[in-house]
Amino acid sequence: MEHLFIQGKKDVTLLLLHGTGGNEHDLLSVGKQIDPDANILSVRGNVIEYGMPRFFKRKAIGVFDEESLVEETHNLCDFVRSSGTKYKFDCKKVVAIGYSNGANIAVSVLFHYEQAFQKAILFHPMVPLRNIDLANLKGTKVFIGAGKADRMMPEHEVEELTQMLHSANADVEVFWTEYGHQLSREEIKAAQAWYQNKSQAHFEE
């Protein structure tokens, strides 16, 4: 996959996953704000929709091509693993940071794999798949950034996703803003505070 890797000063790797029409440069400043010392692996989605990179195909806005989603979910996990070998980072210490379409594939990874991510920061995710046996996410910490005026991701879907992740034993926190689908400064700050808090707790465990 098209990507960039930035070596950090500690053994944690942020996996950055952009929204539709974005690329591997989009979330670099967000990643740096969340953890300036971590490695960064930022990936460009494999699928092109009218010239716009995405992480999986869709049939219409909000209607996903599940076959493509599942295939790309496995591709992304394989890619992270092979990058771990290439760049010598610990695949057990990966923190996903995804926005919109990137958050949706991160959710799909969480649904499929038990230990793919130590933590996940999901900005404006949806429920990308239903009727799936969820992986056991005990020990996985998830932050969800959501907007009350987000028409792509209505409140009931945020609740459904939270429920699903809880039922898979993840530790989930949801942060609400009054905004729509855009990535807001408030939620990035909240994610940063959440990340520091959870990293500290992890250290003390």
Site residues (CB under 6 A) for ligand MLT? 19-20, 58, 61-62, 100-101, 104, 152
Q: How far is the CB of 19 from ligand MLT (least distance, A)?
A: 5
Token duo for residue 177: 């803003």
* Whole-number Å distance between alpha carbons of 191 and 194: 5
Q: How far is the CB of 21 from ligand MLT (least distance, A)?
A: 8
Q: How far is the CB of 126 from ligand MLT (least distance, A)?
A: 6
Residue 39 or 100 having the CB closest to ligand MLT: 100
Question: In 79-170, where do the E strands start and end?
Answer: 94-99, 119-123, 141-147
Residue 17 or 172 having the CB closest to ligand MLT: 17
Token duo for residue 53: 């990179």
Residue 114 or 160 having the CB closest to ligand MLT: 160
| CB proximity list for 53: less than 8 A, separation 6 or greater | 18, 20, 21, 22, 23, 44, 45, 46, 47
Which entry of 42, 83, 100, 108 is annotated as an active-site residue?
A: 100
Question: Where in the sequence numbering do the catalytic residues fall?
Answer: 100, 150, 181
